[in-house]
Each structure stands twice: as C-alpha cells, then as structure tokens.
C-alpha cells in the first residue's frame, strides 16, 4: 500500500472553535516502565495505539473492545530495546495496520512513515517528525496540543544514545529544532517515565531538564551523554530482533 493511499492530509473546519474531545488513554507497562498511548476519534471510534507492549496485550485488547473502538493503526516510535511490541498480535486480532519509520530495518510493517506524513483516524490526526538520536529510526508524533516523543526526550531526561545508531549530536539538534520550537504549553508525552509522572511541557523541559535545557550547549550535552555509564538493557537481545519482526516471536 502506498503512503498517499494510506495517509491523507485533512483540513479541519475553522468554523467551530471547539472540537470534540479526543478519546485518550495513557497506559503503563510496569516491567519496562513503558507508556503506550491509545488515541481515538470520539465521533467514529477509529483508534491508534502508540508503542503497544506484548505484556499488556490482553489489557489493551479488552480496553479497545470495552470502549467500542476500531483499532486502525499501531505506531512504533522506534525499534525498542527494552520490550517487545504487540503490533503483529494486535494486527491478527483487530486487522489493523502496523506503522513504523521508513528509516528502520523493519520489513514486516504495513506503512513506512516519513517526515510530515499525517496519520488520520476519524477527525483526529498525528503528524510524523523524524527525530533520530536515541536510535536512527526514531519518530515523534504530534497534534495541535501534544507530542508523543518516544525515547527522544523524557520528563527531565532523554533517551540514551549508546546503541542502535544512537547519536547525541542528532538528539541535541532534534530536541532543539523539533521539540523546543513548539509552543511552550505543548504537552510532551514520553515513551517512558520511571518515577510515575505522566507528562511534561515544552516550557518545563526548556527550563528544567538537567541534561538538555536552553542553557546547555551541544558539546556539554554530548559530554553528559557519553558519561552516563548505563547498564546494557536486559532484554535487548530478544527485543530488537523481535521488534524488527513486528513483535513476532520466532519459533525456537
């Protein structure tokens, strides 16, 4: 399927200031502290699920059914190293399409996303921003008031840059050019939080992010990132191959 057929640009009426509120659930998977995001159009119930996790497949399936939603797309913000996606399982169950960055090495997706693609579900939309840094294939997804940043920027932190073609220079550039350039009140919904905080804003991170606020230079940031001394992700050896396969686990 071509991008043009799958991803349409839509114009919203400017006659009505007040749009119907989007259905929005921030979901948490405790083992990897991953946030998945279920978004849906209040009107026609078409839904997308950002970064679904295999461990919470049953929960997500039940929630989608309980809410009467039609899952149209799963979207990966990147090829994860800490958990396995439930994308292929959700596709089997709901006949949705699996979306991932065109820059990834994933071969099994239905749609490959690139800069400025618009993902439409009912009257809602998400715009794709290519934001390499944590990995080469990282993307963010934004609408008028919120941005889903995956592992690019966290609440008072950032993703790590020490594997999967991570690059602190690219991360710095993308956070400055594509996140810090957004309106101050834009809400940032990250791919993880390890302290139980749900979201942050562009303004708060520009001021208070200890790694990458407006007063930290690119060189200082690169220095910080090269001295994190993080332990290797426990599940990377199983997660990356599985996620390159849309979460399908090979028979041993």
* Beta carbons within 10 angstroms of residue 38's beta carbon: 20
For the chain, strand residue ranges (E) read: 23-29, 34-40, 46-50, 70-75, 97-101, 111-113, 118-121, 124-130, 139-142, 146-150, 153-154, 157-158, 187-190, 200-201
String marking each residue 46-75 x if it binds its own copies according to CB under 8 A: ----------x--x---x--xx--------
String marking each residue 141-180 x if it binds its own copies according to CB under 8 A: ----------------------------------------
C-beta of 12 vs 208, nearer to its own copies = 208
String marking each residue 127-146 x if it binds its own copies according to CB under 8 A: --------------------
Longest dimension (CA), the chain: 57
240 sits near its own copies (criterion: CB under 8 A)? no
Residues 40 and 64: their CA atoms lie apart, in Å, by 10
Q: Exposed, middle or buried by CB within 10 Å (0-12, 13-18, 19+), for 2?
A: exposed
26 sits near its own copies (criterion: CB under 8 A)? yes
Which of 3, 6, 25, 165 lies at the binding interface for its own copies (CB under 8 A)?
25
Least Å distance between CB 5 and its own copies? 34
Least Å distance between CB 243 and its own copies? 20
SS3 156: coil
Residue numbers of the site for its own copies (CB under 8 A)? 25-30, 56, 59, 63, 66-67, 195-199, 204, 208
């Amino acid at each position: 399927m071509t991008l043009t057929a799958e991803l349409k640009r839509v114009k919203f009426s400017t006659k009505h200031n007040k749009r119907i509120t989007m259905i929005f659930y921030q979901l948490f998977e405790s083992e990897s502290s991953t946030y998945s995001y279920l978004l849906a159009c209040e009107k026609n119930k078409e839904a997308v699920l950002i970064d679904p996790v295999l461990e919470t497949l049953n929960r997500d399936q039940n929630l989608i059914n309980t809410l009467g939603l039609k899952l149209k797309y799963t979207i990966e913000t990147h090829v994860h190293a800490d958990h396995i996606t439930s994308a292929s399982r959700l596709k089997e169950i709901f006949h949705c399409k699996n979306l991932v960055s065109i820059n990834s090495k994933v071969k099994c997706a239905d749609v490959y996303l690139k800069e400025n693609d618009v993902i439409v579900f009912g009257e809602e939309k998400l715009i794709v921003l290519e934001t390499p840094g944590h990995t080469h294939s990282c993307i963010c997804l934004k609408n008028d008031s919120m941005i889903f940043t995956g592992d690019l920027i966290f609440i008072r932190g950032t993703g790590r840059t020490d594997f999967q073609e991570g690059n602190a220079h690219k991360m710095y550039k993308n956070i400055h050019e594509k996140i810090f350039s957004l309106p101050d009140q834009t809400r940032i919904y990250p791919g993880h939080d390890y302290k139980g905080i749900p979201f942050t804003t562009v303004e708060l991170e520009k001021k208070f992010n200890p790694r990458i606020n407006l007063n930290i230079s690119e060189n200082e940031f690169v220095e910080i990132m090269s001295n994190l001394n993080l332990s290797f992700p426990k599940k990377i050896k199983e997660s990356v191959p599985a996620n390159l396969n849309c979460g399908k686990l090979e028979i041993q």
